[in-house]
Every structure is written in C-alpha cells, then in structure tokens.
Amino acid sequence: MIDLLIEHIQEKKNPTVMGLDPRMDLIPEAVRMKAYEQYGQTPRGAAEALFLFNEALIEATFDLLPAVKPQIAMYERYGIFGVEAYYRTVLHAHKRGLLVIGDVKRGDIASTAAGYSNGHLGAAPVEDHRYMMFDEDMITLNPYLGYDSIEPYFADMKEFDKAVFVLVKTSNPGSGQIQDMLVGDDKIPLYEHVGRLVEEWGEPTRGWFGYSEIGAVVGATYPEQGSELRQKMPHTFFLVPGYGAQGATAKDVARCFDKNGYGAVVNSSRGLIGAWKNKKYADYGEEHFAEAARAAVIDMKNDLNSVL
C-alpha cells in the first residue's frame, strides 16, 4: 500500500493530504441548509452536512491529491449518523481514485485490535462469508499498549494490501509530556524509542521503494525531532500533521522527507477545507468554498515542492 501511495504522490507530483475534519463552523450555510432541508436540524442533518461538504471538497480537488485523511472523531461527534457520513466519505474518495487514511488512532489489546483491524482494514466474518466494512486504505494507530496491540493488524494488512501509521511524535503542544520523557539506559526520548520499534516492526514488510507498511506519525511542529527521526527511521514512511493552521512551514516539513523528496505525506485540514474563511482566499466567497480549497491545495503543493 505504501508503494501505491508513493506512486500516487509521483503521479500527482504532490505529497499533500487533505484532512477531512469537518466542523459545523467550517461548513458554509448553504451546505448546512441543504442538508437540513432533507433531515431537519438534527444529528442526521448535521451528518449529511458533513458528507455534502466533503463531497464538494473531494470533487474540487481529487485530480490534485494522492490521498485524503478523514478524522473519525469529527464524525463520531454525531453518533451513528456521523459514523455513516464517515463511511460515505471513504466511499466517495475511493470513487474518485483517492487513497484514504482513516485517522482513527486506535490502540487496544490483541483480541480487541483484531476487531478494529477487521472493521477498518480487513473484513468482518459472518458465518462462511466475509465483508469489507469501513475499508480505509491506511489507518493511524496508538502504540501505548506495545507490539501486541499492533501485530493483530498484520494479517489484514498483508491480505488486503493496507498500511498503518503508528503515532511516534504528535504535533500537539503537550505531546512532550509523555513522548519526550527520557527512557532507558541510553536516555533517549520515548518517541525515539517508539520510532526504533516502529522501524523494527516494519522490517518484514518493506516494499519496492524501501519503505515498510508500518508508517509513523511525526508532527511537523517539531522540525528538529523530524530530522532526527527521518535519519533514524530510513525505511519508515511518515504521515506529517501540523502544516499550516498548526503552525509548521514547508521548511519544517521538508526535514521529514528523504533526499529524493519522498518518504512523507503532509496533512493539512483547516488550512485547506476552511480556506474560504481565510483572508487570502476571501475573494472566492462562501459559495465557492470548494474552489477556495482547490486554490489552497495548489498553493500548498507549490509551497512543498519548492523545498523538496
């Protein structure tokens, strides 16, 4: 799957991933009203608004992007209706040839992890049949429970050609509270310890381009750690959040790439899907929010390519 992701990046000449993290305040009134007309001002109506917003964003940008990354929390907010909108978003992205990184950050003990794996990457057993359910191409995982919380995904990853990204160093301001603790005899930060494990876990799954199917989440808001991890994890593909609204620049994220300009995808959520609220793209107007997102994607692509 990481090979396929790299091919998509090469084809689109763009390592940008659009984060589909819709919130009601980012969705133009006309889209919300259209959804409410059908389902009322209800959670079902709100979920429909999330989907319509995503659908328009995907339609306006799919030719430019290798992948999108819906953040499932934004959908779980609206209960089962929201989760259905998440599922429909994955389907629609696939319809437009986009790969989908499900930002679910799951992490649980083995028997339980198999449930997540079947539902998100593999297939769910019903007597003698199996059914693919959410069917994301890649998902994010949390490493706090150790290897036996990651290993259960391997079978589905192999059978269905999927990949995962394990949280190593996250982009949030408080990530250091746990992740920067110095550990072990050699007093390395915990994120580096986790990074080494991820590099090791991925070893048997390396593909054509040298990257394994066990990627890492490395926040662009900590560029020095990014450089360091890039060096210490040469076979691990990075998913890099934090560009744009969270404050990281193209120069910051450049450190997460390899010398050939590959090795990472960079996510932006608000900066792209909420571009119409940004002064820079204000001329598009609320009505043309999707075109504003397209312009922001092109700007981000050019910005990233200028440093790679």
Four-residue CA torsion sign, 232, 234, 238, 240: positive
Beta bridge partners of 101: 138
Q: Which is nearer to a second copy, 144 or 208 (CB)?
A: 144
Helices 43-61 and 289-307 pack at an angle, to 10 degrees, of: 50
**Which DSSP state fits 66?**
S
- In DSSP terms, which residues pair with 165 in a beta bridge? 140, 215
The smaller minimum CB distance to a second copy, of residues 142 and 278, is found at 142
Query: Which lies closer to a second copy via its Cβ, residue 102 or residue 223?
Result: 102
Q: Between 4 and 183, name the residue whose CB sits nearer to a second copy.
A: 183
CA-only gyration radius of the chain, Å = 19
Cα(258)–Cα(155) distance, rounded to whole angstroms?
Answer: 29
Do the strands 163-169 and 182-183 form a parallel or antiparallel pair, or are they unpaired? unpaired
- Taking the complex as a whole, the smallest distance from the CB of residue 117 to a second copy amounts, in Å, to 8
Count of CA atoms in the C-beta half-sphere (13 A) of 205? 26
Give least dist CB 55 to a second copy, A: 17
Closest contact distance (angstroms) between CB of 254 and a second copy is 22
Nearest approach in angstroms of CB 46 to a second copy is 4
Output 203 or 283, the one with its CB closest to a second copy. 203
Catalytic residue positions, numbered: 105
CB of 88 to a second copy, least distance (A): 9
DSSP element (H, E) containing 105 = strand 99-106
Exposed, middle or buried: residue 142 (CB in 10 Å: 0-12, 13-18, 19+)? middle
